Chain A
Amino acid sequence: MEENKETYWSENLRLIFICLAIWFVVSFGLGLLLVEPLNAIRLGGYKLGFWFAQQGSIYCFLGLIFWYGAKMNKLDKKYHSEG
């Protein structure tokens, strides 16, 4: 049981780390630090960097929260620790 707890927590930390890396890249990376080179690419009328800053990052945040939630629900089931 103790061992289960440990692996549950480390798998959770791994998921959090992956999600936060994506969270950082889509907002601070693509929307802010790399905005100038990305603006050379167009997405319809949007410059791509501008699009990430004002639209794309928000859609990615949404995807991340639901993906993390689904993954964690599976993890909760796997370790029988669901209520």
Chain B
Amino acid sequence: MEELQLYTYIAVFGTFALYFAIAWWARAGSTSDFYVAGGGITPLQNGMAIGADWMSAASFISMAGMIAFMGYGGSVFLMGWTGGYVLLALLLAPYMRKHGKFTVPEFIFDRYYSKAARVVAVACLIIASLTYIIGQMKGVGVAFSRFLEVDYALGLYIGMFVVWVYAVLGGMKGITYTQIAQYVVMIFAYTIPAVFISLQLTGNPIPQLGLGSTLADGSGMYLLDKLDLVVTDLGFKEYTTANLGGTVNMFAYTISLMIGTAGLPHVIMRFFTVPSVQAARASAGYALVCIALLYTVAPAVGAMARLNLMNTIEPAAGQNLEYAERPQWFKDWEKTGLLKYEDKNGDGKIQYTADAATNEMVKVDRDIMVLANPAIANLPNWVIALVAAGGLAAALSTAAGLLLAISSSISHDLMKGILTPDMSEKNELLAGRVVMTIAIIVSGYLGLNPPGFAAGTVALAFGLAASSIFPALMMGIFSKKMSGKAAVAGMVSGIGVTMLYVFQHKGIMFIPGTSFLGGMGKDWFFGISPNAFGSVGALVNFAVAFAVLKVTGPAPAHIQEMVEHMRIPGTVSAAHDH
């Protein structure tokens, strides 16, 4: 393990040194630098930065694991988290860029001429971003404790310090250039092991093709057919057809993730950094290229990891692995408690089945699949070290983007916009940095002491973005007449319905024991799960907004003119202050 430790230290601290160097080179001198990187980022650069910003510890570590165990059902994440970029490119990004402001709540304030709307947007943004960031901080802690064998808390402090240096110093400008570097680290760390494994299993080095190829073991059988056979033999659902809570649920889930993606403020604000409307459209395309590189590899990683795991435990039907002969990676992950074996029938062998009564792999945490994958496939140590650096890059880059979204909404929207409008630019920049420091401390604290609701992160962040922010932005652009009153009513009822359903299932603010389903069964609304309910919330938002609009009358003429102006690219100035 000595060699692996050394490689891991080199990979992790080498990348950290790189991020610091970039931060020093790209430090921010003005609020425009701090919020929108001076508006001078090229579409390709922005695409890579969006990729790093968007792909979090969840995408890097958890997604392939979820697909490995959900099979076809995992498609909701693949389609949902990529399809949202089509909506961004077609419906939001170009127009919001044309309008040319610093933050999403500011856009909502201008369009809906209402401080209430701005405050609602800030609240949604902070709740969504903070819950999201807890997951990143936990990811940093786990990566450090697993790969460098340092304490979880110490790992978290190191991560906080690294983000603090480059995010506070550089603002959006520093974050953007660091994210570009982090994207490169992340994509290599993800695809190199996948290429090796695909080559081992199928002889095809391209994982996307390997997944559809025949196995290299001479059987001539397709990989996916083999996987279907292996898992169904053991009583699991067939891999390529396993459903996730029925077609209606999968439909609603995919929509929620798509419009949630398009409505997440830390992604939208990245489109304010490019010089023109055309560049905003192009950067959505480049962003999806960067994201698709990882997302089309993920299903191959998932399926191949599942097959490798199954083959390790039961190399041929009926010939189960002796527990005493289990490989080193098995022992390593047992130590973390994420993998657990219990010899139920006392034969000293490992039986892994779908039947809880006879299954002896009592715990196989989904999150270990990507991290353990290189070891399961016996890949060289430098590849494992690279995966550690990649996981950290994914977590840090997303955390930085979220921190910027939080600090800009507080310093720019609440302080400059509402509380002290006569604040000077210099003071606003200082306020942005102070707020960001506080946000890092708060999120670090929450990462150390995760509150009960951290587990509901996905439901909450995507639910909020899907049911409030996306509909408000879309109506603001595509319905000239949409008024402030109607939009606020829509946002509030959209969030209300979504949160009610989520809390009904998972407890108020996710406090166990406070769920109040009453006489209603689980997933009572057409079998839709709470995580998928943002789509219903969005429909409610649209319906309420148009109903209120009918009753209270359209937006004033100067707002309608502003919308017309927003729709035509014209000459675009750099994103500016008021």
A binds B: yes
Residues of chain A touching chain B, judged by Cβ–Cβ distance below 8 Å, are 5, 8-9, 12, 16, 19-20, 23, 27-28, 31-33, 35-36, 39, 43-47, 50-51, 53-55, 57-59, 61-62, 64-66, 68-69, 72-73, 76, 81-83
**Cβ 8 A contact of A83, one of B276, B282, B288, B567:** B276
A70 to B273, alpha carbons, bound, how many Å?
A: 21
CB neighbors of A among B189-211 (8 A): 208-209, 211
The B interface, classified by DSSP as helix, strand, loop or mixed, is: helix
Residues of B within 8 A of A57 (CB): 78-79, 82-83
Number of interface residues of B (CB under 8 A): 50
- What 3 A-B pairs have minimum CB-CB distances, sorted nearest first? A45-B222, A53-B75, A83-B571
Residue of A nearest to B276 (CB): A83
Is B564 interfacial (CB 8 A cutoff)? yes
Is B284 interfacial (CB 8 A cutoff)? yes
The A interface, classified by DSSP as helix, strand, loop or mixed, is: helix
Proximity bits, B209-220, A CB within 8 Å = 1, else 0: 101111000000
**Cβ 8 A contact of A62, one of B247, B288, B572:** B288
Q: Are B212 and A44 in contact (CB under 8 A)?
A: yes
Residue of B nearest to A82 (CB): B569
Residue of B nearest to A53 (CB): B75
Residues of B within 8 A of A8 (CB): 568
Residues of A within 8 A of B94 (CB): 72
Proximity bits, B334-369, A CB within 8 Å = 1, else 0: 000000000000000000000000000000000000
Is B130 interfacial (CB 8 A cutoff)? no
User: Which of these binds chain A: B168-176, B289-297, B375-383?
Assistant: B289-297
Residue of A nearest to B223 (CB): A45
Known A53-B72, A69-B282; contact A83-B570, beta-carbon cutoff 8 A: yes
Residues of A within 8 A of B572 (CB): 83
A56 to B292, alpha carbons, bound, how many Å?
A: 11
Known A45-B222, A65-B89; contact A55-B564, beta-carbon cutoff 8 A: no
Residues of B within 8 A of A82 (CB): 278, 569
Q: What are 10 A-B residue pairs whose CB atoms fall within 8 Å in the complex?
A: A33-B251, A45-B224, A46-B211, A46-B224, A50-B241, A54-B74, A61-B85, A61-B288, A65-B284, A76-B569
Is B250 interfacial (CB 8 A cutoff)? yes
Residue of B nearest to A16 (CB): B90
Is B240 interfacial (CB 8 A cutoff)? yes
**Cβ 8 A contact of A58, one of B74, B79, B250, B254:** B79
Is B233 interfacial (CB 8 A cutoff)? no
A30 to B150, alpha carbons, bound, how many Å?
A: 47
